[in-house]
Structure 1
Amino acid sequence: MDKRVVGTLLGIAGMLLWFMPWTEFSMGDMDFYRTGSHIGGIAYLLLLSSLAYAVLSWVAQPMPRVIVAALSTLLSGFFWLNVGEAAGWGLAWLCAVSVFSLLQAIERNSAERKVEQQAE
C-alpha cells in the first residue's frame, strides 16, 4: 500500500480514537468514561495533529510529518501518564497509533534523505 494512503489512514484513526474512551471512573455501581472531547483544552491539539498528519501525508517533504507525529506521541503519552491505570482503551490505541505514525514518518524521512544523497 502506498505510504501516503497509510499516513492518511493513521491520521483518520487518530481522529476517530479521539472520540473513544480515554479514562474510566466509577461512582457506585456505574462506570463512566471520558473521551478527548470531554477533556478538551490541550486534547484538541491531539485531534488537530491527527488531522495535520493525514493532510501532510500528501506533502512531498516528510519533516512536518515527523514534527506533528512527535507532538502527538508526546501529548498522548503525557495524558496516559497523568491518568495512570484509569486509562481507557481509546487512549492506549491513540498512543500506539501515534508511535506508529512517528516511526513511519521517520522511516520516510530517512528514505527521502537517501534518495537526495544518491542524486548528488
Structure 2
Amino acid sequence: MLDLDQGAFETLVTEVLDALPDEMVEGLDNVVFLVEDEHPDEDLLGIYEGVAITERGQYGFGELPDRIMVYRLPHLETTETLEELRAEVRTTLVHEIAHFYGLDDEQLHELGWA
C-alpha cells in the first residue's frame, strides 16, 4: 500500500485534474473538488454530489456548488505504485466528471474519455 498524507494526495489530485483535456473540464461550472480519507458509509473511490447538467431546470445565482469527492484511503489501498495511483485517480475524476455531464460509461468511451 502506498503512503501519501492528505497534502501530498491533494497535490496529486490537483496535478491529475490539471492534466485532463480542456474539453472535459472547461464546462464544469460551480463544481468543487474535495479530498477526504474515505466515504463514511460505502467503499468508494469517489462520488459526484449534485444535479447533472442534463437534469437541471433553472440553475443560477446562489446555488451551492456541486461536489466531486475523491477518497484517499481506498485509492492508496488499491494501488502499489505512484503511476498506478495517478491512473486510478484519473479514472475516478473522469468518471465523476461524467456524472456532472450526465454521461454513462458507453458515452465516455465514445468521447474517448475512458
TM-score, normalized by the shorter chain, greater than 0.5: no
- Between Structure 1 and Structure 2, the one with more strand by share is 2
User: Which structure has the highest helix share of the two?
Assistant: 1
